[in-house]
């Protein structure tokens, strides 16, 4: 008897696949955000610096990344880099790298805006106390800058969760790919993608509310200080 | 790791087909921008409406769109609706998906623009006897547009870049033409580098041009 | 400083791109050797103790996901048998699209591609094919209401194909006036036909027979006579002689031992077409 390939309904293994997809999405985003923030800090500091040899490469990096599609960045990292660097890059890490690179460029601008939001008077006061550049950054500027950076950073993390759906084109089983697999197996695209959309919403909406909350509460503090 | 011979020439021989794809990308993006602006304006007016249910509806629209990925929205419109016998052809599905998505972001942008116009303007206009449509058309929107313009330009760049996703529903934009080229030449490295470069060139030139136009138009600010 | 900064950045970015274009139009950049270095995947696999095989997971009955979402299929069974014969662990890598079978091979992500891979002269320019292990043909699956009886009937209709597949090449030859919809995966193209977004799909013959049969609405038909006969073969990298010889021997044993007959019966309930030992 030839095996039957027709599957009319979604079963619990399909729910499991969706759950695995959800978990993988979270893994992609968590790593992408963590590493992306670190890189963004470095690039953002470079961008805010007055020295040409620092801000020009940083600006070029930010500009090129922000002006190319994430889809292409993913393809370049997955297919092109291994050929250039002669190493093997598995799908998951290519996804993380693409999200990191993309997120870091946008985040770097946020970092720069945060640093530049700290008034000159703070710099002057710190200098007059005899502090050097690294000390000023560490103790005076960054603590204040971070407050300004947090709301847009939370907004960016929502973007990251949505961007992770693009990694599905490499067949990595995150949430969107799980949905595609189920759609192709059962042909129930309406139900499947409806459920996938709801799951993404459940991931992102709390972050949206968090972004609003941080914006409100941190702004009050800024007005006082 | 196998050695690799770079052959950019194979890509440039077929440059015409990549240009076709770029033309479609730009065409689709422009159409999306115009339609999204219409949707965004309607959405913004709804969000600022006095009717509670209209406000809530618009707010829900914005929240649902902003918290779900564009790719999922595209699949839903193309394959999802197809399953319940609402057949949407691929180009139309791409357009609807992009407009649906960007309309939400533009709703927020237009709303911010309208809200930036000071109350004093409303009071002055109303005391001069202008009706609501006249108020909107002659007083609010021209001033709101100044605030809307920069984020609108940013959004347009975003539209161009995210339009690359419509390649997954068989729309022959620049990204899909790139994939087709790869299936003929098997030169994934060269093709993706060239296609990415094309997107960057498009985006940088358009963004610089828009900035120039903005500076000229809003000089009086 | 801001205005100057932005222009300088734009200028340098465009300059870099200009260099890229110039490089592209200039003479070809080639390293000392003209072809990839000598490979020895066979030794690599044995040393690693693991065989990495690329298959599809959306193409029944060759490689697809069953109800429990396990990767199963004819090609999967063959891969399992191969790993067993070599006494190594098997690692299956789902390949997203047809051209990716080649991209993944070239990039070294898989050792061999066993994924209903039709051997063609064009593809042989980039990778190497083993001897055929199965013969298939081209087929068309169509909506019954589109009234397609033969290949030329597709002119003027909407035809769904997979990018990089032999079907894509065929549609331009057999039905040049057809309106083509290109999808990443055969299953998406099939979905398009099933939903009426396309009138027909060109795919491998066995695929069309089975999917026409499985449609619950019974609205799909297929062209009875397959066009052309195509060998499926394993795909390997160029200059990998030892691996190629080994796999050819494996395929020979596959047929000779009756394992192929057994698998074909399991998945197709039919006899496999006779495969000649060489092209």
Whole-number Å distance between alpha carbons of B86 and B4: 47
pLDDT of residue C16 exceeding 70: no
**Chain C, nearest residue to A47 by Cα:** C5
Question: Could you tell me which residues of chain C have a Cβ less than 8 Å from any Cβ in chain A?
Answer: 5-6, 8-10, 12-13, 57-58, 60-61, 64-69, 94-96, 103, 107-109, 184-185, 187-188, 190-191, 194, 210, 214, 216, 266-269
Is residue B102 within 8 angstroms of chain A, CB to CB?
A: no
pLDDT of residue C279 exceeding 60: no
CB nearest to C197's CB, from B82, B172, B197: B82
Whole-number Å distance between alpha carbons of A21 and A175: 4
Catalogue all structural domains in chain A, each as residue range(s) with its CATH number: 15-224 (1.10.3720.10)
Reported as a pLDDT band with limits 50, 70 and 90, residue C24 is low
**B-proximal residues of C, 240-279, CB under 8 Å:** none
Relative to beta strand C58-59, strand C63-65 is antiparallel
CB nearest to A187's CB, from C13, C191, C266: C191
- Helix, strand, or coil here: C72? strand
Which chain C residues touch A14 with a CB distance below 8 Å? 69
Class of domain C41-136+231-268: alpha beta
CB of C243 closer than 8 Å to CB of C39: yes
Which chain A residues touch C64 with a CB distance below 8 Å? 5, 185
CB of C159 closer than 8 Å to CB of C178: yes
Determine the pLDDT at residue C10.
63
Minimal CA–CA distance to B46: which of B111, B136, B116? B111
Residue C52's DSSP bridge partners are: C91
CB of C101 closer than 8 Å to CB of C93: no
Distance from the Cα of B175 to chain A's closest Cα (Å) equals 8
CB of C217 closer than 8 Å to CB of C147: no
**Chain A, nearest residue to C8 by Cα:** A56
Determine the pLDDT at residue C29.
44
Minimal CA–CA distance to A207: which of A147, A161, A154, A153? A154
Mutate to test the interface with B, among C24, C26, C37, C99 (most CBs of B within 10 A): C24
Distance from the Cα of C279 to chain A's closest Cα (Å) equals 30
Place of tokens 């968590």: A30
Q: Could you report the predicted ipTM of this complex, rounded to two decimals? A: 0.86
pLDDT of residue C3 exceeding 70: no
Whole-number Å distance between alpha carbons of C117 and A194: 34
Q: What is the pLDDT of residues C103-124, one digit of tens each?
A: 888 888 899 999 999 998 888 9
Which chain A residues touch C216 with a CB distance below 8 Å? 6, 8
Distance from the Cα of A123 to chain B's closest Cα (Å) equals 30
Distance from the Cα of A210 to chain C's closest Cα (Å) equals 32
> Is B81 within 8 Å of A190 when comparing Cβ atoms?
yes
Which chain A residues touch C10 with a CB distance below 8 Å? 63
CB nearest to B196's CB, from A68, A187, A194: A68
CATH of domain C137-228: 3.40.190.10
Which chain B residues touch C106 with a CB distance below 8 Å? 2, 4, 186, 188
C partners (3+ CB pairs within 8 A) are A, B
pLDDT of residue C34 exceeding 60: no
CB nearest to B199's CB, from A72, A194, A196: A72
Place of tokens 């960007």: B102
Which chain A residues touch C266 with a CB distance below 8 Å? 3
How far are the Cα atoms of C15, C71, C100 from residue B168, in angstroms, in the given order?
A: 32, 23, 15
Distance from the Cα of B71 to chain C's closest Cα (Å) equals 14
> Is C14 within 8 Å of B204 when comparing Cβ atoms?
yes
What is the average pLDDT score of chain B? 88
Determine the pLDDT at residue A201.
96
pLDDT of residue C180 exceeding 50: yes
Q: What is the pLDDT of residues C124-163, one digit of tens each?
A: 988 999 999 998 888 888 888 888 888 888 888 899 998 8
Which chain A residues touch C58 with a CB distance below 8 Å? 181, 184
Distance of CA A223 to the CA centre of its chain: 29
Residue C200's DSSP bridge partners are: C142, C159
Which chain C residues touch A76 with a CB distance below 8 Å? none
Is residue B85 within 8 angstroms of chain A, CB to CB?
A: no
How far are the Cα atoms of B80, C137, C275 from residue C232, in angstroms, in the given order?
A: 34, 10, 10
Reported as a pLDDT band with limits 50, 70 and 90, residue C218 is confident
Determine the pLDDT at residue A5.
56
Whole-number Å distance between alpha carbons of A208 and B180: 38
Is residue C11 within 8 angstroms of chain B, CB to CB?
A: no
> Is C108 within 8 Å of B194 when comparing Cβ atoms?
no
Every domain of chain C with CATH number 3.40.190.10 lies at 41-136+231-268, 137-228
Is residue C21 within 8 angstroms of chain B, CB to CB?
A: yes
- Helix, strand, or coil here: A1? coil
Residue that wins the pLDDT comparison between B122 and C19: B122
Distance from the Cα of B86 to chain C's closest Cα (Å) equals 9
Question: Which of A37-51, B137-151, C74-88, C223-237 is most confident?
Answer: C74-88
B partners (3+ CB pairs within 8 A) are A, C
pLDDT of residue C20 exceeding 80: no
Determine the pLDDT at residue C127.
92
**Chain B, nearest residue to A68 by Cα:** B200
> Is B161 within 8 Å of A163 when comparing Cβ atoms?
no
Reported as a pLDDT band with limits 50, 70 and 90, residue C28 is very low
**For chain A, how big is the Rg over CA atoms in Å?**
22
Distance from the Cα of C19 to chain A's closest Cα (Å) equals 15
A partners (3+ CB pairs within 8 A) are B, C
Residue C160's DSSP bridge partners are: C181, C201
Contacts for B60 with CB less than 8 Å, ≥ 6 apart = none
Which chain B residues touch C20 with a CB distance below 8 Å? 193-194, 197
pTM of the model: 0.85
Which chain C residues touch A53 with a CB distance below 8 Å? none
Helices B15-47 and B188-217 pack at an angle, to 10 degrees, of 50
Domain made up of B8-217: CATH architecture: Orthogonal Bundle (1.10)
Distance from the Cα of A158 to chain C's closest Cα (Å) equals 27
- Which tokens sit at C134? 């199965």
Mean pLDDT of C52-61: 89
**Chain A, nearest residue to C95 by Cα:** A171
What is the average pLDDT score of chain C? 82
CB nearest to A68's CB, from B63, B82, B200: B200
Which chain B residues touch A158 with a CB distance below 8 Å? 66-67
> Is A169 within 8 Å of C69 when comparing Cβ atoms?
no
User: Mean pLDDT of successive 10-residue segments in chain A (225 residues)?
Assistant: 60 88 95 93 88 88 92 90 80 94 93 86 85 82 85 91 93 90 84 94 94 79 44
pLDDT of residue C232 exceeding 70: yes
User: Which stretches of chain B drop beneath a pLDDT of 70?
Assistant: 1-6, 219-221
């Amino acid at each position: 008897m030839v095996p039957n390939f027709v599957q009319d309904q979604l079963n619990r293994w399909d729910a499991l696949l969706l759950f695995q997809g959800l978990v993988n999405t979270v893994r992609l985003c968590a790593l992408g955000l963590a590493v992306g923030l670190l890189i963004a800090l470095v690039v953002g500091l470079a961008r805010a610096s007055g020295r040409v040899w620092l801000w020009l490469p940083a600006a070029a990096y930010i500009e090129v990344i922000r002006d190319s599609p994430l889809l292409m960045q993913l393809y370049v990292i997955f297919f092109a880099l291994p050929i250039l660097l002669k190493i093997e890059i598995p799908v998951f890490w290519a996804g993380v790298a693409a999200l990191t690179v993309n997120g870091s460029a946008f985040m770097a601008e946020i970092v720069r805006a945060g640093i530049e939001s700290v008034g000159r008077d703070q710099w002057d006061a710190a200098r007059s106390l005899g502090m050097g550049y690294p000390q000023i950054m560490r103790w005076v500027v960054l603590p204040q800058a971070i407050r300004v950076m947090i709301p847009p950073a939370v907004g960016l993390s929502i973007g990251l969760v949505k961007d992770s759906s693009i990694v599905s084109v490499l067949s990595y089983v995150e949430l969107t790919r799980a949905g595609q697999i189920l759609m192709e197996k059962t042909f129930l695209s309406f139900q499947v993608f409806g459920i996938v959309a709801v799951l993404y919403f459940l991931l992102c909406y709390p972050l949206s509310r968090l972004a609003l909350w941080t914006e409100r509460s941190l702004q009050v503090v800024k007005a006082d200080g | 790791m196998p050695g690799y011979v770079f052959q950019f020439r194979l890509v440039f021989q077929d440059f015409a087909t990549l240009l076709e794809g770029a033309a479609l990308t730009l065409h689709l993006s422009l159409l999306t921008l115009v339609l999204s602006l219409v949707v965004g304006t309607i959405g913004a007016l709804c969000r600022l409406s006095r009717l509670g249910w209209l406000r809530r509806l618009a707010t829900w629209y914005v929240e649902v769109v902003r918290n779900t990925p564009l790719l999922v929205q595209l699949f839903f419109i193309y394959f999802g609706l197809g399953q319940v016998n609402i057949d949407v052809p691929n180009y139309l599905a791409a357009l609807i998906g992009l407009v649906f998505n960007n309309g939400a972001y533009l709703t927020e942008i237009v709303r911010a623009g309208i809200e930036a116009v000071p109350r004093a303007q409303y009071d002055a206009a109303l005391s001069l006897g202008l009706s609501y449509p006249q108020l909107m058309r002659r007083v609010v929107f021209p001033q709101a547009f100044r605030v809307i313009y920069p984020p609108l330009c940013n959004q347009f760049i975003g539209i161009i870049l995210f339009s690359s996703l419509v390649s997954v529903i068989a729309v022959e934009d620049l990204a899909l033409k790139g994939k087709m080229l790869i299936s003929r030449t098997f030169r994934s490295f060269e093709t993706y580098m060239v296609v990415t470069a094309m997107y960057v060139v498009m985006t940088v030139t358009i963004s610089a041009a828009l900035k120039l136009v903005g500076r000229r138009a809003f000089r009086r600010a | 400083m801001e205005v100057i900064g932005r222009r300088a950045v734009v200028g340098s970015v465009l300059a870099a791109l200009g260099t890229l274009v110039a490089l592209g139009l200039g003479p070809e950049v080639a390293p000392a050797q003209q072809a990839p270095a000598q490979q020895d995947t066979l030794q690599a696999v044995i040393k690693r103790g693991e065989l990495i095989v690329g298959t599809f997971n959306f193409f029944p009955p060759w490689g697809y996901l069953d109800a429990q979402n396990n990767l199963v299929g004819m090609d999967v069974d063959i891969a399992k048998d191969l790993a067993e014969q070599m006494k190594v662990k098997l690692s299956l890598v789902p390949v997203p699209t047809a051209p990716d079978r080649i991209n993944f091979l070239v990039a070294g992500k898989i050792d061999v591609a066993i994924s209903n891979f039709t051997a063609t002269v064009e593809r042989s320019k980039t990778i190497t094919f083993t001897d055929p292990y199965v013969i298939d043909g081209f087929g068309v699956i169509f909506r019954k209401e589109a009234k397609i009886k033969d290949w030329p009937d597709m002119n003027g209709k909407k035809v769904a194909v997979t990018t990089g597949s032999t079907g894509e090449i065929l549609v331009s030859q057999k039905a040049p006036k057809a309106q083509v919809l290109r999808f990443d995966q055969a299953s998406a193209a099939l979905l398009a036909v099933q939903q009426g977004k396309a009138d027909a799909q060109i795919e491998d013959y066995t695929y069309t027979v089975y999917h026409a049969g499985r449609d619950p609405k019974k609205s799909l038909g297929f062209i009875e006579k397959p066009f052309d006969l195509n060998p499926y073969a394993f795909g390997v990298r160029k200059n990998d002689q030892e691996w190629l010889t080994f796999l050819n021997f494996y395929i020979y044993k596959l047929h000779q031992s009756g394992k192929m007959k057994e698998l074909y019966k399991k998945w197709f309930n039919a006899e496999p077409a006779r495969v000649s030992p060489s092209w």
